[in-house]
Amino acid sequence: NKSNILYSLFPTEMLESNNLLTFNGLANSSAYHTFLLDEERGRLFVGAKDHVLSFNLVDINLDMQLISWPPSPSRRDECKWAGKDVQRECSNFIKVLQPFNQTHLYVCGTGAFHPVCAYVEVGKRPEDNIFQLGSSSFENGRGKSPYDPKLLTASMLIDGELYAGTSADFMGRDFAIFRTLGKHHPIRTEQHDSRWLNDPRFISVHLIPESDNPEDDKIYLFFRENAIDGEQTSKATHARIGQLCKNDFGGHRSLVNKWTTFLKARLICSVPGLNGIDTHFDELQDVFLMSSKDPKNPIIYAVFTTSSNIFKGSAVCMYSMADIRRVFLGPYAHRDGPNYQWVPFLGRVPYPRPGTVRRPITQLIMIINILSTKSTLK
Ligand X SMILES: *[C@@H]1O[C@H](CO)[C@@H](O)[C@H](O)[C@H]1NC(C)=O
Cα separation, 111 vs 95, in Å, equals: 10
Residue 28 is a binding residue for ligand X (CB under 6 A): yes
Residue 335 is a binding residue for ligand X (CB under 6 A): no
Name which of 131, 121, 289, 329 is nearest 203 in CA terms: 289
Residue 100 is a binding residue for ligand X (CB under 6 A): yes
CB of 66 to ligand X, least distance (A): 6
Q: Which residue is nearest to ligand X (CB)?
A: 68
Backbone angles phi, psi at 177, to 5 degrees: -105, 120
Chain centroid, CA 201 distance in Å: 8
Stretch that binds ligand X, among 32-40, 66-74, 162-170, 216-224 (CB under 6 A): 66-74
CB of 337 to ligand X, least distance (A): 50
CB of 136 to ligand X, least distance (A): 6
Cα separation, 124 vs 304, in Å, equals: 38
Name the CA radius of gyration of the chain, rounded.
21
**Is 220 within 8 Å of 205 (Cβ atoms)?**
yes
Cα separation, 315 vs 368, in Å, equals: 23
Stretch that binds ligand X, among 56-64, 102-110, 169-177, 340-348 (CB under 6 A): 102-110
Residue 104 is a binding residue for ligand X (CB under 6 A): yes
> 111 exposed, middle or buried (CB, 10 Å; 0-12, 13-18, 19+)?
buried
Between 119 and 281, name the residue whose CB sits nearer to ligand X.
Answer: 119
Per-residue binder mask for ligand X (CB under 6 A), 67-96, x = binder? -x-x--------------------------
Residue 66 is a binding residue for ligand X (CB under 6 A): yes
Q: Contact with ligand X (CB under 6 A): which of 1, 87, 102, 309?
A: 102
Name which of 11, 9, 16 is nearest 37 in CA terms: 9
3-class secondary structure, 361 = coil
Residues binding ligand X (CB under 6 A): 26, 28, 50, 66, 68, 70, 100-104, 119
